[in-house]
Amino acid sequence: MNAISEQQSSHIIARLQERLGEDSVKTDADALTEYGKDWTTAYRPDPLAVVLPRNIEQVVNLVQLANKLNFPLVPSGGRTGLSGGAVASNREVVVAFDRMNRILEFDAVDRQVVCEPGVITEQLQQFAEQQGLFYPVDFASAGSSQIGGNVATNAGGIKVIRYGMTRQWVMGLKVVTGSGELLELNRGLVKNATGYDFRHLFIGSEGTLGLVVEVTLALTAVPRDPTVLLLAVNDMQSCMEVLKTFQGRLQLSAFEFFSEPALQHVVSHKGLQRPFETQSPFYALIEFENDSESRLDEAMELFEVCLEAGWVLDGTVSQSVGQAETLWRLREDISETISRFSPYKNDISVRVSKVPEFLSRVDELVSARYPDFEIIWFGHIGDGNVHLNILKPEDLDLKTFQEQCGKVSREVFQLVKNYAGSVSAEHGVGLLKKAFLEASRDPLEIAYMKAVKKVFDPNGILNPGKVFDIQ
């Protein structure tokens, strides 16, 4: 799609105002900067306008107009994305769902809730709680991210080991395709064997196939007394032994890990207490449902096994809900704590069994290439997913830093490829990982992706330049 001239710009803005009402179109500098970016820092926001539709009809109207006048749309949710998927830096029109933020329906028998895409993840979690139920997809940005954004990225988070990704909870979807048609997918059915399930194409498509305009989500039972163990672990190999040991006997709802430097940053920045005095290279955070008297004893026995085997050095267990929450903060506050160092983030995954070997290779590589950079490791290790964060030294400018990191990323991703892993486990491809897509997907598969894109978005209106380029 070619760059849009000044004259075209004012024409587009005028038509948008006509069709959607003046108060739904923003063009002030603040709005443009705010809505033109997500959590990534590498791109300069430069949208043409921001549109805030109030209902599905307006969305359909908008996409049809975009097709007619040939201007690009960038869907935007809570803009907590970590791969630039919601970035608008090429005079695109941003479609923000902030005003479509109602929970529309709830059915206690189906245990399903229907919501508009702009509902904040945490708002849905609270709604579920009020119904005596639970929405299990959770992560540190749940207070800002939107359900539409979660669906578009197939968000994962800290409970995946037990509850799966967002995909698992989507029972129905309404999407407006790139050609401006409204599709209603699956309609809340548990079983439906009638051909292709397009729902799953739209989940995780990062706004490149359609705009998510309504989501039906399943809810589940509230877990009983989620109890947190925090263990000091000797090394990565031990971490996986601990995982195996605990998973063999307990149903875990989380298995996370982080490194000592990560812990130090959080403790000093957030004024939190160290869990215990023992220092070790890594820490594992394990959550399980303490749903019967013997559960805790079992966890203690497993801890003893790990202690005797020399995998863990020390540990603690939450004695109250408050303690469980503060222990979780040691893991959950890492992203936010290190964000002031403009970290270069990698969100990579391999099969769980390959994790220790893979990580030690990555660690070798990264420490050899960046002897002077501080490396922070954390992530959803129980899912084979680690976040590798490289902190920017204060005296280095952002551009040079990112270039240096970018170079080594190629080598990291070569390793990912060798281990048949993924260059983006849960943060999506967006702009940030576009150049590396081929490390995880073979050319034939990418060609099919492009063909699918053509079917739903023939004019390339939706989020152009994200995930892959179409010539």
Partner 1 sequence: MKVLVAVKRVVDAYVKVRVKSDHSGVELANAKMAINPFCEIAVEEAIRLKEQGKAEEVIAVSIGTSASQEQIRTALALGADRGILVETDQEAQPLSVARILKAIVEKEGIDLVILGKQSIDTDNNQVGQMLGALTNMPQGTFACKAEPGDGTITVTREIDGGEQTVALKLPAIVTTDLRLNEPRYASLPNIMKAKKKPIDTVTPDALGVSMESRIRTLSVEPPPQRSAGIKVGSVDELIDKLKNEAKVI
Instruction: Please enumerate in sequence order all residues whose Cβ is within 8 A of that of 222, keeping only pairs 6 or more positions apart, or say none.
Output: 129, 132, 133, 134
Contact yes or no for 164/135 (Cβ under 8 A): no
For residues 13 to 42, the per-residue mask of contacts with ligand FAD, x marking binding by CB under 6 A and - elsewhere, is -------------------------xx---
For residues 366 to 385, the per-residue mask of contacts with ligand FAD, x marking binding by CB under 6 A and - elsewhere, is --------------------
- 141 touching ligand FAD, by CB under 6 A: yes
Say what the alpha-carbon torsion angle 24, 25, 27, 29 is, to the nearest 10 degrees.
30
Among 83, 155, 92, 161, smallest CA distance to 125 is for 155
Q: How far is the CB of 6 from ligand FAD (least distance, A)?
A: 26
Selected from 78, 275, 421, 430, the binder of partner 1 by CB under 8 A is 275
For residues 82 to 101, the per-residue mask of contacts with ligand FAD, x marking binding by CB under 6 A and - elsewhere, is x--xx----------x----
Binds 300: which of partner 1, ligand FAD, none (CB < 5-8 Å by kind) = partner 1
* Interface segment toward ligand FAD; rule CB under 6 A; list 23-31, 74-82, 282-290, 404-412: 74-82
What φ, ψ does residue 160 adopt, rounded to 5°? Answer: -60, -35
Neighbour tally for 371: CB within 10 Å: 7
What φ, ψ does residue 347 adopt, rounded to 5°? Answer: -125, 85
As a whole number of angstroms, the distance between CA 363 and CA 8 comes to 50
* Interface segment toward partner 1; rule CB under 8 A; list 87-95, 194-202, 241-249, 316-324: 316-324
Selected from 8, 61, 316, 404, the binder of partner 1 by CB under 8 A is 316
Contact yes or no for 333/353 (Cβ under 8 A): no
Binds 314: which of ligand FAD, partner 1, none (CB < 5-8 Å by kind) = partner 1
Q: Sheet holding 103-107: strands in order across?
A: 103-107, 112-115, 210-218, 170-177, 182-185
As a whole number of angstroms, the distance between CA 217 and CA 163 comes to 13
3-state SS, residue 390? strand
For residues 189 to 218, the per-residue mask of contacts with ligand FAD, x marking binding by CB under 6 A and - elsewhere, is -----------------xx---xx------
Residues facing 230 on adjacent strands: 285, 316
Q: How far is the CB of 312 from partner 1 (least distance, A)?
A: 9
- 221 touching partner 1, by CB under 8 A: no
What φ, ψ does residue 312 adopt, rounded to 5°? Answer: -120, 155
The two beta strands, 282-289 and 112-115, are: unpaired
Contact yes or no for 232/313 (Cβ under 8 A): yes
Using CB positions, name the residue nearest to ligand FAD. 149
Binds 325: which of partner 1, ligand FAD, none (CB < 5-8 Å by kind) = partner 1
- 343 touching ligand FAD, by CB under 6 A: no
Compute how many residues bind partner 1; rule: CB under 8 A.
24
As a whole number of angstroms, the distance between CA 26 and CA 49 comes to 6
Pull the structure tokens for residue 18: 């006509």
> Which strand (E) or helix (H) includes residue 31?
helix 29-35
Binds 381: which of partner 1, ligand FAD, none (CB < 5-8 Å by kind) = none
Binds 273: which of partner 1, ligand FAD, none (CB < 5-8 Å by kind) = partner 1
For residues 276 to 315, the per-residue mask of contacts with partner 1, x marking binding by CB under 8 A and - elsewhere, is x-----------------------x--xx--x------xx
- Interacting residues toward ligand FAD by CB under 6 A: 38-39, 74-82, 85-86, 97, 117, 139-141, 145-146, 148-150, 152-153, 155-157, 206-207, 211-212, 335-336, 426-427, 430, 463, 466
